[in-house]
Chains A and B, each alone.
Chain A
Amino acid sequence: MPDDLPLLEVRDLSVSFRSRGRDVPIVENVSFSVDRQEILGIVGESGSGKSVTAMAIMGLIDAPGVKITGSALFRGQELVGLSQRSFRHLRGREISMIFQDPMTAFTPVYTIGWQIDEQIRVHEAISRTGARARTVQLLGDMGVPDPERTANRYPHQLSGGLRQRAMIAMALSCNPSLLIADEPTTALDVTVQAQILDLLRNLRHNYGSSVLLITHDMGVVAETCDRVMVLYSGRVAERGPAEAVFRQPGHPYTGALLDSIPPLTGPRPERLPSIAGAPPPPLERPSGCAFAPRCHYVHESCMILPSLIAYGTQDVACVLPAEGHPLPPRAAGAA
């Protein structure tokens, strides 16, 4: 297939769950693409739909009454509506996923090495010793000290950081072209988080993989991602190159989110600029802009659902740039 096509192209993906006779829209018309060897960050607060988006792409939502519409083309293959049988060939080999909690992602009754070997042997015709050699190599690549011995240990015998490394090793065991990482460092200490982010950043060079990184932490996005998509209440608020978004956010939500993070350097504000209120529950989502009730800049035209408008290299679901009143660049943006 041609190389100029994105690796993953998601268009108008919507996911709704059925509850008490009503369709509850969780994710609405989300579109984005992931290029080869690119790291795309999906950021949002809890309930923004970031994990559901990833689960839908991976075919991991299998509850009755769930409606998934739209399209997700992975190397030209449609993933929405794909049978579980076909997904099996993709998952683990072409697309793999790592989670926040590596303890629950591994089964506690087998060694780390056994579980990684198994994944390799399911997808490839390879001998036991061949698989183990690859496992040890992978663990070593992921910075696991003494990989041969570690492979023979059980998940509970490893620290959180090592377990996360082992999970990344398992995810990379079949050299997938896309790695979906759902809050991979949220449960880790900062010093270990920095190591894991370093590892993720280098995957594209060492393994040629693209990464879809789901996080709630804008700091993690800034350190890791090439491009970013901000979700708010199940809808795309803004997407674009990370550098542009951090320099001059286009959506007031992005701006407010960045402002509400306490700064580590520079003057300490007396009070943090916080966002009043909380995101709306899916059934109470306003028909206009979902952020309008909490927005400083809310005005009449916000009562109509804004579509994504190109604003420089960004796409912004807000009327402000088009009305000629874009947000100011961030003061802390240049450091």
Chain B
Amino acid sequence: MNTTLLHAEGLRKEYKLPRGQTLRALDNISLEIMPGEVLGLVGESGCGKSTLGRCLLRLTELSSGTITFDGCDISSLNERAMRPLRRQMQMVFQDSYASLNPRRRIGDLIAEPLRVHPDNNGKKRSSSTIEARLAELTELVGLSTSALSRYPHEFSGGQRQRINIARALALSPQLIVADEPVSALDVSIQAQIINLFTDLKERLGLTYIFIAHDLAVVRQISTRVAVMYLGAIVEQGETDAILHTPAHPYTAALIAAVPEPVIRKNASRTLLRGDVPSPVSPPSGCRFHTRCPKAQADCAIVVPDLRPLPDGRVVACHFPLVNDP
């Protein structure tokens, strides 16, 4: 059996606000990622999915909780001790333009991590090694080598995302956290980049945490899905199980709200009412009870724990839509 690549236990992240208020961005989050897996993090804006992605890489400091990466507890390592591990974990962001320094050439941008980090023997990489690696990377992500001498503004959004991916791959990481990497792209380009993620995973044996709000995109790429609502995971399990037979009413509502490119006769859907409540003062009991079509009196009082269902998924609901054993 494989050992977990990343294990997070009881992650919490709180932000202190003026007037003594606290914003609980992450509330007791635990998850495990096996090598070669793609974990999709979905949820609406403000649910904490990006914060979680950043916390897992220690780009944002945790308030409490432990993260074990490749057998090593990284949650309390200082910046210096983290540094060699950074090679193993990289990130790709949504805004492909903001992620690239507009005044530097693509070749320099992709080579930066190779210049910053020493090679496996602790030696500085020679320029010919870097050169060769650049050629490999451009081939991997489907760019021509002539791109290396050009500037970010000369590329379209899709091409720029390829550049960002090449840079993230430069040090041959094991884990890539991709935060909405395709949501700013046009559909036809989006499909190219999703395919690129799939191909790279197979060629290089990568593990992804794929953060997205688009369920169809997440379904396409993920092996497992975690659904978040107001800083907590409400359901987590195999992609197909969750998207075909959602157990949490929130997951079901998210799926129902996706506009599909298919004409449906008598399209009457049960719509969720209202907006996501403020994370500064989340509802009591089950956070979702204020918008939940299935809510009972108890839901406003008792916080539901994440409980396992027979098919291996976990769900935080008193009345899950999939029957208990």
| A interface, CB within 8 angstroms of B | 45-46, 145, 159-162, 189-195, 197-198, 216-224, 242-243, 246-247, 256-258, 260-265, 268-276, 278, 332-335
Contact = CB atoms under 8 A, between A and B. Distances in A.
17 contacts: A145-B274, A159-B275, A190-B44, A190-B259, A194-B272, A217-B259, A219-B259, A219-B260, A222-B260, A222-B261, A223-B259, A243-B263, A246-B263, A261-B187, A262-B194, A265-B260, A274-B191
A335 B264 contact: yes
B192 A198 contact: no
Contact of B195 (A195, A272, A333): A272
Contact of A222 (B156, B219, B263, B276): B263
B17 interface: no
Given A258-B261, A260-B190, A332-B262, 20 more contacts: A160-B275, A189-B44, A189-B45, A189-B213, A190-B213, A190-B254, A191-B272, A194-B269, A219-B261, A257-B187, A257-B188, A261-B191, A262-B191, A262-B219, A264-B215, A264-B219, A268-B219, A274-B188, A274-B192, A275-B192
Contacts of A216: 186-187
Task: Determine the main DSSP class of B at the interface with A.
Answer: helix
Nearest to B45: A189
Nearest to A161: B275
A265 B239 CA distance: 12
A194 B190 contact: no
B68 to A, nearest CB: 31
Interface string B215-255: 11101100000000000000000001001100000000111
B145 interface: no
A119 to B, nearest CB: 25
Contacts, number: 137
A185 to B, nearest CB: 9
**Contact size range, B:** 35 or more
Interface centre among B188, B189, B240, B271 (most CB of A within 10 A): B188
B186 A45 contact: yes
A329 to B, nearest CB: 12
B257 A191 contact: yes
A272 B194 contact: yes
A189 B276 contact: yes
Nearest to A332: B262
Contacts of A247: 263
A191 B44 contact: yes
A161 B257 CA distance: 14
Nearest to A278: B156
Contacts of B262: 222, 246, 332-335
Contacts of A276: 192
Contacts of A257: 187-188
Nearest to B261: A218
A262 B258 contact: no
A183 B185 CA distance: 15
B107 interface: no
B7 to A, nearest CB: 27
Given A189-B213, A222-B262, A246-B263, A264 B45 contact: no
A272 B271 CA distance: 29
B189 A278 contact: yes
Nearest to B199: A271
B30 interface: no
Interface centre among A193, A221, A271, A276 (most CB of B within 10 A): A271
Interface in B245-301: 253-264, 267, 269, 271-276
Contacts of A220: 259
Given A162-B275, A262-B194, A274-B195, A197 B259 contact: yes
B187 A260 contact: yes
B129 to A, nearest CB: 32
Nearest to B156: A278
A193 B214 CA distance: 12
Contact of B198 (A45, A189, A271): A271
Nearest to A243: B263
Contact of A192 (B190, B219, B275): B275
B48 interface: no
A249 to B, nearest CB: 10
B181 interface: no
Contacts of B240: 268
A262 B272 contact: no
A262 B260 contact: no
Nearest to B262: A335
Contacts of A161: 275
Interface string B172-193: 0000000000000011111110
Contacts of B259: 190, 193-194, 197, 217, 219-220, 222-224
A263 B263 contact: no
A270 to B, nearest CB: 8
A193 B275 CA distance: 11
Nearest to B184: A46
Contacts of A332: 261-262
A207 B195 CA distance: 44
A264 B191 contact: no
B152 interface: no
A190 B269 CA distance: 13
B53 interface: no
A122 to B, nearest CB: 30
B102 to A, nearest CB: 19
A138 B258 CA distance: 27
A173 to B, nearest CB: 23
